[in-house]
């Protein structure tokens, strides 16, 4: 085998794992190769990793050979790297069964990153009943080690379980743990569960509080639900001004239902003075969906009604403002997708 470099600076693990960060060391190639041949798993992984990512010629076949030798000794970074390669099809043929095998070996060693990755892979690849059961098992293991994303996923899947006693009650407990860790999705889910009485008795005040926390964290869906509760007086005295505020927050994120309701408030003067100009703008935005729905039909009717109260000059200005808001919302949506 031809040396990749005379001298290698090797990062023994590039991905942060629960086990901690691995140090960087500078090693002479011949010394490293001798250690690897003698069975040193760290050296084997280093050679394999360098064959994939080194500065010299990349050699996937050599890389996999050395990584597998290290993995057979339960070397954590090698197990994770092999699983990643087979699950993505990078450098090697895509093979989800092999990926699951390597992730499983790492997961059984309590490597939290492997537990979560294995659960994700099992669940997202059209799982059968046994795979679903195993995915839940590993989500739970990762959640118990403090992985917030695993808590949220586990709670969501528990809510989907049919015929399982106390699954919603367990789900709500995991959502609470994730919410206390600052997860917005969990706060939104808790608002929904308390509002509908899933996993506990219906509690509108508790629902309001969780929706408020999620709304303040920027969840458009939570802002919409909070606006409805304020407008209808659910869990809080009816407050049209507060409803107007939260409908506005959700509408500015491009949520059509919020835009339609906000336009209705301006049209009828709830929480604010009647404002046909603003009503037209928000009706116009709500009516721009490509696929016609009941909401867009209502928005079109509302837009026609508001337009009757505006001059030609006002209509032109309102249409221009609606266009600017539409493009602003479109850019915001693209930015949120990139962050996800």
What would the DSSP string read from start to end of 228-246?
A: HHHHHTSSS---HHHHHHH
- For residue 20, give the DSSP letter: B
Q: How far apart, in Å, are the Cα atoms of 150 and each of 125, 180, 337, 340?
A: 17, 14, 21, 16
Tell which residue, 114, 159, 102, has the closest CA to residue 16: 114
Q: What is the pLDDT of residue 23?
A: 45
CB 309 within 8 A of CB 276: yes
Q: How far apart, in Å, are the Cα atoms of 301 and each of 90, 248, 321?
A: 52, 20, 19
Element (H, E) at 250: helix 240-251
Distance CA 324, CA 316 (A): 13
Q: How far apart, in Å, are the Cα atoms of 256 and each of 44, 178, 246?
A: 56, 29, 14
Q: What is the pLDDT of residue 200?
A: 85
CB 74 within 8 A of CB 105: yes
Helices 184-196 and 148-160: crossing angle in degrees, nearest 10, is 30
Is residue 24 classed as helix, strand or coil in its secondary structure? strand
Given the DSSP bridges, would you call strands 24-28 and 7-11 parallel, antiparallel or unpaired?
antiparallel
Distance CA 24, CA 178 (A): 34
C-alpha 212, offset from chain centre: 20
Q: Which residue has the tokens 């659960």?
A: 119
User: Cβ-count burial of 191 within 10 angstroms (0-12 exposed, 13-18 middle, 19+ buried)?
Assistant: buried
CB 188 within 8 A of CB 214: yes
Is residue 306 classed as helix, strand or coil in its secondary structure? helix
User: Cβ-count burial of 309 within 10 angstroms (0-12 exposed, 13-18 middle, 19+ buried)?
Assistant: middle
Tell which residue, 210, 205, 178, has the closest CA to residue 191: 210
Distance CA 126, CA 132 (A): 9
Q: Per residue of the chain (340 residues), give pLDDT as tens.
A: 333 333 233 333 333 333 344 444 455 778 888 999 999 999 999 999 988 887 556 788 889 999 999 999 999 999 999 999 999 988 888 999 999 999 999 999 999 999 999 999 999 887 788 888 999 999 999 999 999 999 999 999 998 875 455 788 899 999 999 999 999 999 999 999 999 998 889 999 999 999 999 999 999 999 999 999 999 999 999 999 999 999 999 999 999 999 999 999 999 999 999 999 999 999 999 998 777 899 999 999 999 999 999 999 999 999 999 999 888 887 766 555 445 4
Rounded (5°) CA angle 242-297-314:
70
Q: What is the pLDDT of residue 171?
A: 94
- The model's pTM is 0.82
Task: Dihedral sign for Cα 70, 74, 78, 83, please.
Answer: positive
């Amino acid at each position: 085998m031809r040396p990749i470099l005379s001298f290698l600076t090797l990062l023994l693990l590039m991905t942060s794992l629960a086990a901690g960060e691995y140090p960087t060391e500078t090693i002479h190639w011949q010394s490293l190769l001798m250690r690897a041949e003698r069975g040193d798993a760290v050296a084997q992984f280093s050679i394999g990793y360098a064959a994939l990512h080194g500065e010299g010629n990349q050699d996937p076949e050599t890389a996999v050979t050395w990584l597998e030798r290290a993995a057979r000794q339960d070397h954590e970074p090698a197990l994770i790297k092999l699983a990643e390669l087979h699950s993505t099809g990078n450098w090697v043929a895509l093979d989800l069964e092999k990926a699951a095998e390597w992730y499983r070996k790492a997961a059984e060693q309590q490597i939290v990153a492997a537990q979560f990755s294995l659960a994700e892979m099992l669940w997202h690849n059209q799982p059968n009943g046994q795979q679903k059961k195993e995915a839940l098992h590993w989500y739970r293991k990762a959640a118990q080690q403090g992985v917030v994303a695993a808590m949220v996923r586990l709670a969501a899947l528990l809510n989907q379980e049919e015929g399982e006693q106390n699954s919603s009650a367990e789900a709500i407990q995991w959502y609470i743990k994730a919410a206390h860790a600052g997860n917005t999705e969990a706060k939104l889910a808790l608002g929904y569960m308390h509002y509908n009485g899933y996993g506990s008795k219906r509690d509108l005040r508790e629902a309001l509080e969780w929706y408020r926390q999620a709304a303040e964290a920027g969840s458009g869906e939570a802002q919409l639900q909070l606006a409805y509760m304020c407008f209808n007086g659910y869990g809080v005295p009816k407050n049209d001004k507060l409803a107007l505020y939260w409908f506005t927050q959700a509408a500015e994120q491009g949520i059509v239902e919020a835009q339609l309701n906000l336009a209705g408030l301006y049209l009828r003067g709830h929480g604010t003075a009647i404002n046909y100009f603003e009503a037209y703008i928000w009706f116009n935005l709500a009516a721009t969906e490509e696929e016609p729905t009941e909401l867009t039909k209502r928005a079109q009717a509302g837009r026609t009604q508001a337009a009757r109260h505006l001059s030609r000059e006002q209509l032109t200005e309102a249409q221009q403002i609606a266009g600017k808001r539409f493009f602003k919302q479109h850019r915001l949506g693209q930015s949120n997708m990139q962050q996800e």
